Amino acid sequence: MDLYEYQARELLEEHGIPTPKAIFAQNSHEVDQAAEQLGFPCVLKAQVKIGHRGQAGGVKVVKDRDDAILTSEEIFPMTIHGHKVSGLLVAEAKNIIHEYYVSISVDRSSRDFDVLATANGGTEVEVIAKEHPESVKRLHIGALEDFDLEAATTMARNIGFYHADVDQAAQILLNMWQCFKDNDATLVEINPLAKIGDPDDESSKSLCALDAKISLDDNAAFRHDGWQRFADPVHSDPFEAQARQHGLHYVHLTGEVGVIGNGAGLVMSSLDAVSDAGKDQGNDIAPANFLDIGGGASVDVMRHSLSIVMSDPQVESVFVNVYGGITSCEQVANGILAALDELGESKPIIVRFDGNASQEGLRILNDSRRSSCMYATPWKKQHRKRYVSLQPRRRHVDDTVY
Partner 1 sequence: MTLFIEDGAPVIVQGMTGHQGMTHTARMLAAGTNIVGGVNPRKSGTTVDFDGKQIPVYADCTEAKEHTGAKASVVFVPPRFAKGAIVEAIEAGIGLIVVITEGIPVADTAYVVELAMREGVRIVGPNCPGLMTLSANSDAKGVNLGIIPDGIVSRGPLGLVSKSGTLTYQLMGELADIGFTACLGAGGDPIVGTTLTEALEAFEQDESTKAVVMIGEIGGQCRARGCAMAHEHMTKPVVAYIAGFTAPEGKQMGHAGAIVSAGKGTAQDKKEALEAAGIPVGRTPGQAAALMRKVLDTLPQL
Residue 181, interface with partner 1 (CB under 8 A)?
Answer: yes
Q: Does position 273 bind partner 1 by CB under 8 A? A: yes
Cβ proximity to partner 1, 144 vs 201, nearer residue: 144
CA distance 386 to 377: 12
Secondary structure class of 117 (helix, strand, coil): strand
Binders of partner 1 in range 151-170 (CB under 8 A): none
**286 sits near partner 1 (criterion: CB under 8 A):** yes
Report DSSP letters for 35-94, one per residue: HHHH-SSEEEEE--SSS-TTTTT-EEEE-SHHHHHHHHHHHTT-EETTEE---EEEEE--
DSSP state, 283? S
Asked whether position 328 contacts partner 1 by CB under 8 A, the answer is no
Query: CA-based diameter of the chain, in Å?
Result: 84
In whole angstroms, how large is the CA radius of gyration of the chain?
26
Under the criterion CB under 8 A, does residue 202 sit at the interface with partner 1? no
d(CA 67, CA 61): 9
Please report whether residue 4 would count as binding partner 1 according to CB under 8 A. no
Minimal distance, residue 309 CB to partner 1, in Å:
15
Active site residues: 101, 189
Give the DSSP letter string of 97-115: EEEEEEEEEEETTTTEEEE
Among the listed residues 30, 32, 92, 184, the single contact to partner 1 using CB under 8 A: 184
For position 317 contacting partner 1 by CB under 8 A, the verdict is no
Least distance from partner 1 to the Cβ atom of residue 224, Å: 10
By the rule CB under 8 A, 18 interacts with partner 1:
no
Listed ranges 11-19, 201-209, 274-282, 331-339: which one lies at the site for partner 1 (CB under 8 A): 274-282
DSSP per residue over 173-228, as a string? Answer: HHHHHHHHHHTTEEEEEEEEEEEES-TT-GGG-EEEE--EEEEE-GGGGGGTGGGG
Nearer to partner 1, 269 or 311 (CB): 269
Among 78, 379, 392, 399, binds partner 1 (CB under 8 A): 379
Distance CA 346, CA 348 (A): 7
Q: Which of residues 122-151 bind partner 1 (CB under 8 A)?
A: 126, 142-144
Query: 209 with 193: CB under 8 angstroms?
Result: yes
Using rule CB under 8 A, residue 109 touches partner 1:
yes
CA 230 distance to own-chain centroid: 13
Total of residues contacting partner 1 (CB under 8 A): 59
> Which of 165, 330 has the CB closer to partner 1?
330
Based on the shown chain and the rule CB under 8 A, indicate whether residue 287 belongs to the binding site for partner 1: yes
**Residues within the interface to partner 1 (CB under 8 A):** 2, 49-51, 106, 108-109, 111-113, 126, 142-144, 181, 184, 186, 217-220, 222-223, 249, 251, 253, 261-269, 271-276, 286-287, 290, 292, 295-296, 323-326, 354-356, 378-381, 384
